[in-house]
Each structure stands twice: as structure tokens, then as C-alpha cells.
Structure 1
């Protein structure tokens, strides 16, 4: 059995049409004007690189650890209604010993991913330092997300995969998916040569063949010496298609962030992923899904690091962060419902609009 989740700011090594009327955490947009935006205050900032999952009647968001007391490694928030959020129980009290050895200088954990697989929750996470691809992805598991339930407790499963200087990829931003044939995969990647995919052993959640080079999912060709501003892959399946969500351009600059979210789809999980116009995500293409409004109007800047979650109500939701101009550029938790066109392309649903 597999249940899929959706992901001061994360110190990303590299790390926008904002759609009015989305279901948002911290803000419920009534119109495109920030002056008309009613604010619902709860524990929605600082949140960076969020992922979403539901257990029983509670929603759980895990995100990059950002110095909040008790939440400095990976953070957790809990809600019963997707609007009011409270601080949850962080999964780590200290960095795993293997992580400090694999990535000297690492101080916190980034960009988690959460799924329910074979009776346990799988929490993948990133270990790195700013501007380096000396990075690693780790795994922890638990039978429940509720600290009050029997069996709660995160078991360290250790290293999943790593990258080193000289590799053409960066082993951060993991995202798990089980395909329609029951095979397990992990997408990952940030800058360097782009987004990658490895097949996993269904029992261990680690690479099925560690000697095999990762497959290429997406990249943004740039002039020699320039960074390839792409990261945060997320894969999900709907209606016979696999969809790849990715973040383009730069996060982590507060209201100056240029992050935006792009989507493509493919009949095969390995790609190629193309936008609605046929453009290949291996060549920097795709269809814009989420982007900030005009500079003079957009309260929430740089929306990105998005993930998908399909709830028990059948609604597809996008979870992401954006930088709040009205709160000193703080990275803020956001959730939006998706509506689908007749030809199978998603867009952000407005308030009162049927997903």
C-alpha cells in the first residue's frame, strides 16, 4: 500500500503568476488585490519546502528546519482544516551521525518528502550546505505520525544516495512515487545538470541498483559557466499520465525571489515530460502552473517548491511556499486546490470554484 504526500528560508544552494482566489494557508485570497485579502493567522511562517499528508482526521506538513525553537532540523505542523495550523512534533532532535560524517558542516535538514508505504511512513530528507553538491538524501520511518499513538517514533534508515563534487547532479529535494505497475522511484535534484530519477528497492526504499547512473528528468540548458536554475521535482499520476512539477529560477531572496512553478506530463514515468505546447522539460520547457503576480500587486512572491496531494475527498491540492511581502518576506505555507481541464491540464482553482 502506498499513500502519497504532496513538499528564516532554507539555505538552498541555488535556489511567478500568483493566482487570486486559491485556498491558501495564512491567506484566503478574495481577489487579486492585496488590499482585499483577509488574513487567517496561524503557524504558517516561516515554512520552506513543505510537503503534505493526511492521517486520520489530521493534516501534517513537514518542511525544512529553519531555526524555530525545537524545529531547527525538520519542522512539522498539524491542522484539522487546512487553515489553522499548530506546531507539531519535530521528527529529529539531532542530526543523524551518518549525516554529519557524509556532509561535514551540515547544520539542519532540508526539503523533506513524506509517503505511506507498506505500513510505515517514509520521510526522505536532504543533507547539504549552501552552494555545494556534497549532499545526501536520508530516510527515516515511523508507523504513525501521531505522538500519542502506539508505535510512534522515527527510525533512522540511514543514507539513501549521495552526490560529491565532480558529479553532475545534487542529491537534495527527494520526492517518492510508486508507479502504476508497483515500481518505486525517487526523483531529486537541484541545479547542476538538473532533475534526476532512480528506481528504488520496494522493501528498503533505497536504490535498486546503486551502480546505475540516475536518469534525467528535466534540465534548463544555459550558457557555459551559468547555473541551471531548476530544482524540487515532484511526480504524481492522474488519468493515465505522469505529471512532473518543478521550480524554475531563484528562491531564498525574500520578496526578490523569482521562483515559479512549471509542470509537464508523460505517458511513461521516465519521460520525456512536455508542456501543453509540446516543449520538453529536458530543454527548459513546460507549462507555467504558479507564478507571482505583477510586481506592484503581488503580495506573495516566488511561489515554488511545490508538491501534490490527492485527499480522501478526491481533491487534488498543491502545497508550496511563497514570500510574504507584508511580513518582511517571510516564507509562508500555501495550499491551493487544482481544477482540471477536459484535456487533462491542471490550473489553480479560485475560491468557490469547483476543482
Structure 2
């Protein structure tokens, strides 16, 4: 039961005062065994599978658009209805692309392209839809792709969020060589000497320094300017401005000192073909930060796929992690970026969640912030399902992802009573590794005297007076985060905390 706000503030203040030097009378017996006995499990299956989901809110509905020409909609961010799925001329959202296949797949994405695919299927991946306030149209930015670095960013428009999106043209090309560069627009913006010196290495595309033209997302900045961030592995993540009146990219002036290329734009992160992709930039007016989300690892269930986040006060960076750093070319990138989610198991989950990645994010009309991504499972398959988790920003301005998918929970901004917080928690630490290991829970107790007790761990915790902010120290490592009461996957009431520190995320779940 949640109690009144005044009592919450007084209780948290008492915890902070008591946390030093207080020894409880007698000996408390704790059960540190991780057991799910008596805990209901939720059904992790979904009616839809949308890979690389990009979120759009329009006409009171939430839409997600994904690779392989899929789309779904929801009214509650939990239950999704399929709108479109699969490569077909009958696809109501994307189908029009087949009417202009000679143009849309001229460079990449089909067996008839200049750079051909290695199978008979067309490849239309990673769309992002935005409402253009200047033109009054919905714009879909997506890519066609033939190889791991030969791709083409394209766009289409529609009068409605559900399409159909009519092909408008190609924007950015990658993966060409000396012979195929003539099939691109690159030489319209740079001269041959520059192109051959920079974009070609030997006889092939210089993929270590320049991007794979894939995974576009488009957003408005605080001043109403429109931008596109894109890239996958290869030369890293790049940023270009968009002309709001046309939807086309604006090619900048070259500025080598600031990593600005006249064709591809500004490199923000990565290079050297490290695993970094699926970029998404979200501006949060409340914190004043631009948050750049990316995915690391390989996208298969055992590939270590995961979400990382960096932040900046300006739209073009620099974007840094909790240590004030970012991955550069050939960096050991597992050490960079706040890891929000990876592989994990929590109570009420039938299966562990695996390869949680390729996200989008948004701040809803009521101010709640959400992370949207797909997850696989440890069931020896590659099936996937969309998930939406609420995020709360901690006192330091870093987003903390809540442990369970959203079911309409609202955080109590006045905080929670100590009696509702203290107790037995299932706790996972997401770490910073990029591998197939699953973060499984251990049992920790948050005591009323501000101590943290575990079978092999100890520490302290505190909450800020009259708020949901909290800090927890475990084995000398400090994490700053939030408390929030919510429901687990089976609908049971739980108190949770989500805290971040040293680029790691720590989640705790207590049953009420």
C-alpha cells in the first residue's frame, strides 16, 4: 500500500540519518536463495513481430515501423495490432515501392540492383516515420541494402501515418567502388579527387572511415531544425541536417577538424567497423539533453545485442557517456556508453530476454519517457517481439529504464514510504559486456537503517526527501536512480528501483 507524501519524505530523511552507525538489536535471518516459487509468470508471446521498431504517435495511436516492411499500432504501448508485414505488393504501408522498383532498387536492395543482393528477396530495412510540420505530410526514411556496407538511404511520403508511402527518391549511398560510384550522386557533391582519396581504399569502399547508409532516424531539435542520424558498424554514426521544406538532406561544408564530411555529414561515434548501429536521438526538454541511443553487438539472440546511451547539450555533440567519453575508431567500445538493457532474467518472465536492442524513444504528451525496442528469448529460436519500457531520468540527468514493460504505471513524484521500499529484492546488474551471458538476479535486502545486505554483498541505500530519487552503493560501487511502483509481466504489484553508475544499469524488484 502506498501512503501519503508527507510520511514518505519524513521516512526517507530518517533513513539517511540512521544509515551511519546504527546497529539493529538482535540478529535478522535472511533468505538469499533465488526462488520464483509462488510468483506468477506472464505470457511473453506477442501477436506481432516488428524488428527494429521505430515509434510514432499520431491521431491518438502509437505506431511502430520496422524492417522487412512491417508495422503495428497500439493504444496502450502494450497490446499491438498488425498493420503490415512482409515483402508483398499487397502491403498497405510499403506496397507502392514495387510500382517504382526500377528507381527504388536501382542502386541496392534487389537482385536487379547495380549492387545486387545475394538472394531473391528485396531488402527494405529500418524505417523511421516523422510528421513534417512544414509540409503537413508524414515522411518515411528507410534504407535498401544489398551487402553489409552497400546501402541506399531513401524516403517516401504519405498523407496518413498508415500510408501508403510513395517513393520520393534516394538520399545517401554507401558501399560503392571505383566502378559503381557512377551509379550514385556522390560526385554531385564532392570532386573525384576527394571521393577517390577518401571514400575508396584500394579498389573498394573505405568502410572503416565512412558509413553504411542504413538505420536512419529523423528528429527535431530544440530550435525546430530537422536532422537525420544514421549508420551501422563500418565508419560509425553520422548526422546530417534535413531541409524541412523538401525532406532532402543538407550537405555541409567540409570541416575535417570537427569530423564533418561534405557528403556524409558529421561523425558522432564509432568507426573502424566496431559494432554500433541503430542510432536514435531524442531531445528531452526537461533535462535539456539530447540522448543518443545506439545498439552494440550482433542482432542474433546470442549476439550480445543491447542498448547504450550517450548525451550532449548540443544536437551535433559531442555525445559522451557517464565517464565523459565516447568510442572512437577501433576503440574497445564495451567500455563506452551507458548500457541500459541487454540479456536478463527477472521474476515473472517465462524466458530470459535476449538481444534487447535497436530502439527508438520518445517523450509522450504527459511527459513520460519511453524506450521502444525488440527482444528475443532464450528459447533456441530467433523469434522477436516489441517491448516498451518507461524511463525515468535520475538526479544526474541519465535515463533509468524501469525493469518491466509499461502497463500505464505513474511514478509518485513525492516519493514512497520507507515501509513500502524496504525488504527483499531480486537484483540484476546489466554490466558492460557484449556477450551471450544472461544477467540473472541475486537477492539483496534494503534495510530500514539504510544498509544493503546480500549473501556476498553489502552496501547502503538512501532516498531523497519528498521524491522518487534514490542512491544505492553495492560493494563500493555507487548507482544513482529512481524508485517506482509498477506491475510485473504477470500483472503483480512490485516496487522497483532502476539505478545507473559507471555505465552499468542495476535493477531491483520487490513483491508487495
TM bracket, shorter-chain basis: 0.7 to 0.9
Whether 1:187 and 2:192 are equivalent positions in the alignment is no
Given the alignment, which residue of 131, 136, 140 partners 1:123? 140
Change (3 A) 1:33 1:126: farther
Contact 2:73 2:81 in 1 (8 A): yes
Task: Label 1:327 to 1:85 Cα distance change in 2 as closer, same or farther (>3 A).
Answer: farther
The structure 1 residue matched to 2:107, chosen from 102, 106, 116, is 102
The alignment partner of 1:314 has SS state of: coil
For residues 166-191 of structure 1, the C-alpha deviation after alignment (integer angstroms, 9 at most, x for no partner) is: 14210000011221122221110011
Question: Equivalent residue of 1:101, what SS?
Answer: coil
| 8 Å Cα contact 1:247/1:262 also seen in 2 | yes
Per the alignment, residue 173 of structure 1 pairs with: 215
1:63-87, CA deviations, whole angstroms, 9 ceiling, x for partnerless residues?
A: 111xxxxxxxx11112222222221
Does the C-alpha gap of structure 1 residues 33 and 48 become closer, same or farther in structure 2, counting only changes over 3 Å? Answer: farther
Distance 1:102 1:108 in 2: 12
- The 5 A counterparts of 1:305-316 are 305-316=358-369
Aligned residue-pair number: 302
- Kindly tell me: are residues 57 and 257 of structure 1, through their superposed partners in 2, closer, same or farther at Cα, counting changes over 3 Å? same
Q: What does the per-residue CA deviation read over 1:301-344, in whole Å, with 9 as the maximum and x for residues that have no partner?
A: 11110110222222111111111224833121111111110121
Q: Secondary structure at the match of 2:357?
A: strand
What corresponds to 2:42 in structure 1? 38
CA offset digits 1:258-304 (Å, max 9, x no partner):
11111011111111111112222445321111121279x96111111
Q: Which residue number corresponds to residue 218 of structure 1? A: 269
Looking at structure 2, the residues matched to 180 and 269 of structure 1 have their Cα atoms a distance apart, in angstroms, of: 8
Question: Which of residues 242, 245, 249 is equivalent to 2:297?
Answer: 249
Counterpart-to-counterpart distance in 2, 1:83 and 1:317: 12
Q: Which has the higher helix share?
A: 2
1:54 to 34, 51, 57: 57
Q: Report the counterpart of residue 154 of structure 1 in structure 2.
A: 165
Paired residue for 1:82?
Answer: 77
- Aligned 8 A contact 1:77 1:86 in 2: yes
Distance in 1 of aligned mates of 2:390 and 2:147 = 32
Instruction: Check the 8 A contact 2:157/2:167 in 1, yes or no.
Output: yes
Unaligned ranges ≥5, structure 1 = 1-30, 66-73, 147-151, 222-226
| SS in structure 1 at match of 2:250 | coil
Partner residue of 2:94?
92
Distance 1:213 1:32, change over 3 A: farther
Q: How far apart are the structure 1 equivalents of 2:398 and 2:392?
A: 8
Q: Secondary structure at the match of 2:105?
A: helix
Cross-structure match for 2:67 = 64
* CA gap 1:274/1:333 in 2 versus in 1, 3 angstroms: same
CA contact 2:345–2:352 (8 Å) conserved in 1: no
Distance across 2 between alignment mates of 1:338 and 1:33 = 26
Larger Rg: 2
CA distance in structure 2 between the aligned counterparts of 1:183 and 1:32, rounded to whole angstroms? 52
CA deviations 1:110-150 (Å, max 9, x no partner) are 0111111122111111110242x11011111112125xxxx
SS state at 1:275 partner:
coil
Q: 1:56 to 1:277 in 2, by over 3 A?
A: same
2:422 aligns with none
Deviation at 1:203, TM superposition (A): 1.2
3-state secondary structure, aligned to 1:59: strand
CA RMSD of aligned residues (A): 2.6
Measured in 1, the distance between the counterparts of 2:297 and 2:240 equals: 24
- Alpha-carbon distance in 2 for matches of 1:33, 1:196: 45
